[in-house]
Amino acid sequence: MFGREPRVPLDAFLPSLACPVEVHRSYVRHFQERMNWVFEQACQHQNHKIERMKPYMSRRATASRLVVGDHVLVHVLKFDGRHKLANRWESKPYVVVSQLEGLPFFAFVWQRTALHCIAPCTETTF
């Protein structure tokens, strides 16, 4: 039943018909080899799909084109309490003050400095 033989008190007096331990070890070894092979095949398949989809994803990826003086909204990364319907952006607009040299990080003016998760805003957003 479910891969095991039921044990009853009569088994103490009759010889056991259980499989030897070596059969279990060989089964486990063979099972591990098969699982490793399946894992390798899944990784190869996944890498093939990633390489195939990379040009399509790269075609749609765009960087933020911000210059000093632009108004932006900062993305809220941490919420207090429940936030299923919460606004994901801060309501106060920030002004871009400077950009770090050679990096896509910007310094903003308001109450604090935020360096990530930004979106350009227009006159209609605030």
How much is the average pLDDT of 36-52? Answer: 95
Task: Provide the 8-state DSSP code for 44.
Answer: H
pLDDT at 31: 92
Residue 9 tokens, joined: 């008190």
Q: In whole numbers, what is the pLDDT of the chain averaged over residues? A: 76
**Distance, CA of 115 to CA of 100 (rounded, Å):** 10
Tens of pLDDT, residues 91-116? 788 888 888 787 777 787 765 444 44
Specify the DSSP element, H or E, that contains 119.
Answer: strand 118-120
Sheet holding 106-109, edge to edge: 106-109, 94-99, 71-74, 118-120
Of 42 and 3, the structure prediction assigns the larger pLDDT to 42
Residue 2 tokens, joined: 């479910």
Of 112 and 2, the structure prediction assigns the larger pLDDT to 2
pLDDT above 70 covers a percentage of the chain that reads 69
Of 45 and 86, the structure prediction assigns the larger pLDDT to 45
**Distance, CA of 29 to CA of 25 (rounded, Å):** 6
**Distance, CA of 49 to CA of 41 (rounded, Å):** 12
CA distances, 1 to each of 4, 5, 25, 124 (Å): 5, 6, 20, 69
**Which of the four pLDDT bands, split at 50, 70 and 90, describes residue 53?**
very high
**Which of the four pLDDT bands, split at 50, 70 and 90, describes residue 63?**
low
Label residue 27 left, alpha or beta by phi (over 0 means left) and psi (-120 to 50 means alpha): alpha
- For the chain, the structural domain boundaries read 9-60, 62-126
What CATH number does domain 62-126 carry, 2.60.120, 2.30.30, 2.60.98, 1.10.10? Answer: 2.30.30
